[in-house]
Structure formats: structure tokens, C-alpha cells
Amino acid sequence: MTDAPVRSPIHAAQERIGGTFDDWDGWLWTTGFGDRDGEYRAVREDVGAWDVSALIKWDFRGPDALAAADRLLTNDVLGLADGQVRYGAMVDEAGRFVDDATVYRFAADHAWVMTNLLEMVEHFALVTGGLDVAIDCIVHDLPQVSIQGPRARELLTRLAPDAALERLRYFRFTPDPVSVAGIPAWVSRTGVTGELGYELFCRPDVAEGLWEAVTAGGGARPIGFDAIDVLRIEAGIVLPGYDYTPGESTPYDVSFDRLVKLDGREFFGRAALAAIAADPPQRLVGLRIDGDEVPEAGAEIRRDGRVIGGVTSPTDSPAFGTIALGVVSTAGAGSGRVEVAVGDGWVSAELGAPAVYDPDKRRTHS
């Protein structure tokens, strides 16, 4: 007998309105509400709400909490101010991905670290040995609702009129809970959709009330991973197991160059990444593929008859047609026409930057 997958505190509320779910790493993630394209349009044109409670969350506390997070992340953590968020990779000693992660600094002795994968205890112990830090998994204690779309700010300022959230900058959060429709919640200006967006964290006993306040009360359309997957591919945002393989890929394979801060820092795997930095062998790219047939993940990409890489995240976008993220050799990464394997043949595609939607990130920073 196997353990039943975990249901978030918002699961029942979503099930009542027709939500469907899938088991991923022992949690039931919401896949959608029967209209992927309508959910997609809600985020691009209005506002949508997504239950992200299954994202793995860790509490770092102690005199060396920030030093521990800094040693784990390829990006700079010690330079953060209170209420600031930073994203980067976590790697092994050979510079290969363990996961990607986000760090939230509360104070010099307190941070949250969020990962995709749960099996981090051994890695954390290996990397933070000798530091004065206590690390606890708090995923069950911290439900999360993501509010994404051009109307996200208007919705939140209406539900939290006393919190001055209109002044909350990108990749900043409220270190103290604020009242959202009368419910205490931490608010972070982050997300994976390429849109203006916020993420709300609360305690389990008030999670369903927060969800109802944002959706039924605030008008955010409930959405699931099927729509999120299209949105994040359009925005050039990677996922482990899709665009990189833990234990095999390096951050440079997915063009994380700006998220690897080598100067003046020591972090786990730094020496290996420093050796790769000057000449990374592979790069992340975006593809706009001719025709309606979506290639399979792993489909070959070739230029001038020579295979240069493969598709990692393919999808059919309501706005851009058939698109994909892919990883190709650095030599083959220049923009231009390529071919992608589809079925028993090949179709033409335009290769370019990973983000086909708002590549300058004006929406997220608006």
C-alpha cells in the first residue's frame, strides 16, 4: 500500500468548482478547471489565481541562516535587504543542478528557501555543515496562492487597502503579514507567468478563506498547471525534469549566466561553474514552430542538416501557435531558421531568445 498524495488546504474548494488534479512528487497539483485557454487568457488579459501550496518551503533560522542560503545558491544572498527575494540555482560539487530555488530574506537570522523538490535534507546538511542554522520543512504549514495578471494589483489593493501593496516592488515581499480581506498573509511580488503578479502565503486554517476572498470575492479566475505551463514556456521560465535534469545539467545549459555570481563569493559548486563560465557548451532557446503539430519533448533540433540539440518544453499557445523551449549547442544557438523533428518528419521553426512573450520583462516590472 502506498501513501495517498497530499491535498492542499485549498483542494476541497477547488474540487467543488470542477478542479482536476494530478499527483506530482506526492502532492495533488491542480491541473485545471476545464478550459485551459480561458484560464490562460485570464492571466494575460485580466487576473487568475493558482494554488501553489505544494511548492516546497524551508525555514532557515539562526545566526548563519543567510550564510547557509548563500552557500547553497549560485546567486548572491548576503547582499539582500530585509523583504527582498532572490532566485538562482543550487548545484552539486560538479556544478550540476540539484534544483532551482528562491530565497526570501526576513532578517539577518531568518530566511525562507523554496525549492521544487522535497529530497533536500542531505544536500542541505552537506553544504551547510559547520554553520549555526536550523532548517525545517514548512510546506505543510504555508499554503500559497499565486495571483497573476494585469489586474492583480487592482485586486490586491482592494482586498488589502491598508497594506500599500501598490508600492511593493518586483522581487520584494512583506516580512510581516498584512491583512488581505481580513486574513493575515505574507505578500510577495513574484510569479512564473511573465505577468504582473503576487504570491500570498498564509496559515492552513485560513487558506480556504483566502482563496475564496481572491476568487469568489475578488474575481480572480481559478487556473491550473495546464494553463501555467503555457504561460511559463512563453515567458522562457524553466522547470526541473522538463528543461534541465538534476544531476546532469548545469545552470549554463539553461542560460542562467546572470544567476551565477562568481565574483567575490564562495558557494557550493563554484569551482566547477567557474571552469564552465567562459565557454558554456549549451544554451536555452525559444522556438516558434511552423504548423499545428506539437513536437514531443526530446525531439531533435537541426540546422543545415546537423542536429544541434533538442526540445525540452513544447506546447500550443493561444497567442503564438506552436512553441517550445529547447537546449542547443552554443555554436547552434544563433537566431534563424532550424528544423524540428515532428512525427516521422521535420518542420521548419524560428529559433530565438527563450521568451517569446515580453522578452524585456516590462509586464513583470510594471
Measured CA to CA, the distance from residue 170 to residue 256 in angstroms comes to: 19
Q: Is 205 exposed, middle or buried (0-12, 13-18, 19+ CB in 10 A)?
A: exposed
Q: Could you report how far apart the first and last alpha carbons of the chain are, in Å?
A: 50
Q: Which three cell numbers stand for residue 280?
A: 558554456
Contacts of 258 (CB under 8 A, 6+ apart): none
Q: Which CATH architecture has domain 11-53+142-233?
A: 2-Layer Sandwich (3.30)
pTM: 0.97
| DSSP conformation letters of 79-99 | TPPTTBEEEEEEE-TTS-EEE
pLDDT at 1: 44
Sheet holding 197-201, edge to edge: 178-180, 183-188, 197-201, 144-148, 48-51, 221-222
Total count of residues recorded for the chain: 366
Give exposure, 292-305, as e/b (b: 16+ Cβ within 10 Å): eebbebebebbbee
What's the CA angle centered on 11, arms 6 and 14, to 5 degrees? 155
| All structural domains of the chain with their residue ranges | 11-53+142-233, 238-352
pLDDT means per 10 residues, the chain with 366 residues, are: 86 98 96 98 98 98 98 98 98 98 98 97 98 98 98 98 96 98 98 98 98 97 98 98 98 98 96 97 98 98 97 98 98 96 97 97 95
Task: Please tell me the CATH superfamily of domain 238-352, with its number.
Answer: Aminomethyltransferase beta-barrel domains (2.40.30.110)
Q: Which three cell numbers stand for residue 25?
A: 512528487
pLDDT at 91: 98
Residue matched to cell numbers 532551482: 100
Residue matched to cell numbers 553544504: 127
